[in-house]
């Protein structure tokens, strides 16, 4: 039987890259992979081509480039990168263009990497979370959730994947531990006593492949993925054990975090605060058991630390 092609947005990034590598490593031979990128001549795109992926140009800011890049594909993984531009409106426009192009190309199955609309449980009138940019509580969540309607309206059978906090953020996103004045490594996050669902970024794509494999049973379904849901103290203890030194956890007040001044600090602060306000409901929406069914290789935090702890910078 001919292989079915999965076209992957964000192929040179964390989520899409994990899916490309998962398909290339898949022994079932069911799928081939098409990596979509704005720049096929980048080092990352060339590495994907060398690893066996078909690489095609596509730019979500130029909607006319998308349907030709999706032609003949059975499935499409759609992910947008809020952190490149910090604009919820642009993120919604990109996702809408992806949804329309998938329908135009008559793709059979879309997996859209969405997040919750935080305003459903914390309306704009709720002053516990400051309203941002006039109409959002957590812009990078809310814009993705708004795009769900574009996928529904476009009509292609769609599954909705909700990612958890990448543990890789401890390496690449500046949220890892820092040494306090006593020289002790201190992990500081605003969790409000709540557990944090986390995942190895590479596992998100592996879970996405599991969703494509489910076929029609996954259409219209939501899949929240997590490797393990841990408290701040648990993460610090495990990090310390992996590093062979003491790591302590500091639960930062939400207002302090929102005021840190780095780009996106208010958005991130509101995100953590929203997770705390939702409590068990937020944890329930990201299920390690379901994630392991989708991806039997799913790592827990100890598993992620085994390969990555030494790459965590501790400034």
The contact set with ligand NAP (CB under 6 A) reads: 9-16, 37-39, 42, 58-61, 79-84, 94, 140, 163, 165-166, 169, 173
Least spacing, CB of residue 315 vs ligand NAP, in Å: 19
Residue 9 CB, shortest distance to ligand NAP, in Å, is: 5
Q: Give the span between the Cα atoms of 9 and 240, in whole angstroms.
A: 36
CB-closest chain residue to ligand NAP: 13
Taking the least distance from each CB to ligand NAP, the nearer of 41 and 180 is 41
Query: Closer to ligand NAP at the Cβ: 95 or 309?
Result: 95
CB of 90 to ligand NAP, least distance (A): 9
Looking at the Cβ atoms of 26 and 59, the one nearer to ligand NAP is 59
Nearer to ligand NAP, 165 or 254 (CB): 165
Count of C-beta atoms within a 10 Å radius of residue 50: 9
Q: Give the Cα separation of 303 and 205 in Å (integer).
A: 17
Q: Shortest distance, CB of residue 201 to ligand NAP, whole angstroms?
A: 6
Least distance (Å) from ligand NAP to the CB of residue 304? 13
Decide whether 124 or 173 has the Cβ nearer to ligand NAP: 173
For ligand NAP, give the closer residue by CB, 11 or 189.
Answer: 11
For tokens 């979500």, the residue is 60
Nearer to ligand NAP, 121 or 215 (CB): 121
CB of 198 to ligand NAP, least distance (A): 8
> CB of residue 79 vs ligand NAP: minimum separation in angstroms?
5
Strand order in the sheet with 165-166: 165-166, 196-199, 228-230
Report the distance separating Cα 78 and Cα 52, nearest Å. Answer: 20
């Amino acid at each position: 039987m001919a292989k079915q092609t999965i076209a992957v947005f964000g192929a040179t990034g964390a989520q899409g890259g994990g899916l490309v590598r998962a398909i290339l490593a898949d022994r079932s031979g069911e799928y081939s992979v098409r990596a979509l990128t704005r720049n096929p001549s980048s080092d990352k795109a060339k590495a994907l081509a060398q690893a066996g992926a078909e690489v095609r140009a596509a730019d979500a800011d130029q909607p006319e480039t998308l349907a030709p890049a999706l032609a003949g594909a059975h499935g499409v993984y759609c992910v947008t990168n809020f952190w490149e531009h910090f604009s919820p409106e642009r993120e919604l426009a990109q996702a809408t263009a992806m949804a329309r192009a998938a329908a135009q190309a008559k793709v059979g199955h879309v997996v859209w990497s969405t997040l919750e609309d935080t305003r459903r449980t914390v309306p704009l009138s709720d002053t516990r979370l400051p309203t941002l940019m006039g109409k959002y509580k957590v812009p990078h969540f809310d814009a993705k959730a708004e795009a769900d309607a574009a996928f529904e309206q476009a009509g292609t059978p769609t599954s909705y994947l909700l990612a958890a906090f990448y543990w890789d953020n401890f390496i690449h996103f500046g949220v890892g531990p820092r040494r306090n004045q006593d020289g002790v490594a201190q992990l500081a996050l605003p969790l409000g006593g709540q557990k944090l669902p986390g995942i190895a970024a590479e596992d998100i794509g592996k879970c996405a492949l599991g969703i494509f494999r489910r076929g029609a049973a996954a259409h219209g379904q939501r899949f929240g993925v997590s490797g393990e849901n841990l408290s701040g103290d648990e993460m610090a203890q495990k990090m310390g054990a992996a590093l062979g030194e003491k790591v302590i956890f500091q639960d930062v007040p939400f207002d302090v975090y929102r005021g840190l001044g780095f780009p996106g600090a208010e958005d991130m602060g509101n995100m953590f605060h929203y997770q705390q306000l939702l409590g068990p409901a937020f944890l329930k929406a990201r299920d390690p058991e379901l994630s392991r069914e989708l991806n039997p290789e799913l790592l827990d935090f100890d598993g992620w630390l085994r390969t990555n702890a030494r790459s965590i910078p501790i400034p």
